[in-house]
Amino acid sequence: MLTDLQQQPADALLALIKLHNDDPRADKIDLGVGVYRTGRDNTPVFGAIKAAEQILVDTQDSKAYLGPEGDMGFVKALMPYVFGKDSPDMGGRIEGMQTPGGTGSLRLALAMVKRAGYKRIIVGKPSWPNHNQICADLGLGVVEFSHAKADGTTDMDAVRGAIAAAEEGDAILLHGCCHNPTGIDYSHAEWDEIAGLLAESKILPVIDLAYQGLGQGMEEDAYGLRRVLAAVPEALICYSCDKNFGLYRDRVGALYAMVSDPADLAKVMSNGHSLARANWSQPPDHGGAAVRIVLEDEALTAQWLDELDKMRDRMREVRAKLAAAGQTGGVDLSPLGGQNGLFSIIPFTPEQVQAMRSKHGIYFAGSGRINVAGLTMGNIEQFLAAVADVTG
């Protein structure tokens, strides 16, 4: 029977990594892999995380199971940063659990959506490819709407149309900030409007907050999430610490559920626990414990926030440099200055993408998505010259 399985296509990103690694040119540039890089082109371990890991090594006295909910100290410590310090549990309406990374929280959220009887997910296009892939694996229908217009602004007409056309039993997946892959986020006024539209509908919001702190700041990046939660009775929130704590390989995430009646919260979370038990039993402990230690220690929290600020400032510096280049060859790079996070899409043709790789040793996704953190003050002029060459 195993021989009846069909060959699956290779993951495009993994294939891109191999192409880059196999390129012998010393000045090659990797703009494909979705991790933060410093101005020296390395992905560092946060100093605050290093200190927390040492504390963990020195004090941890057991490796016993924690259960499918994971480290609840981590889950609780994160909540004021996500939902606000004044009422992080919204009067007993929000509870959470630890997951293996943001992907684990998304898988769990969408499995809960399916179990609750929802049939379709409304998703902006383009989106992170794994969103649709998880939906397909779970048998959830996907209804797409245009997320952004060609001029680098959000397509609010499409958002309005998608919500207006939604049916009872639909959910909508929204990027909380630092949209992947476009970098194009909703403004505060647009979030206000989206919240109002959702309040008048019967759609369940599923909000993917994978990059908090990498856009405009921890508080600023939570605006849309908090605005929606203040307007609707129920929501699911998928969170990742892989980016804002640099814990990519440790897979640290959380799923939060908000209900209209606190009396329903235990029932909802019991479904999250049973689904987790069937998928991964329980999440890995180390990374979540390290985040908990950081957030429980005032000095380590301050160190983490300072390191996060420096990451964000570096990416904003790169974006400003790209935007200042303006019209470069046949593309306008100025919109990149107003975008957020690790990613942006440059409208390269497939032939231009290939020319950037073969002629200039610059690697990024076929969609034109680049990781701006792969650019440094040392290689950005090389990148701009290559763009001018292949698009001019």
Is 50 known to be catalytic? no
Cβ count within 10 A of residue 267: 9
Which of 30, 71, 128, 304 is an active site residue?
128
Q: What are the tokens at 379?
A: 């290689």
Is 208 known to be catalytic? yes
Which of 30, 185, 243, 304 is an active site residue?
243
Residues with Cβ within 8 Å of 43's Cβ and at least 6 positions away in sequence, in order, are 35, 36, 37, 246, 248
Is 128 known to be catalytic? yes
Which residue do the tokens 């217009």 mark?
149
Which of 208, 221, 250, 285 is an active site residue?
208
Paired strand residues for 236: 206, 257
Residues labelled catalytic: 128, 208, 243
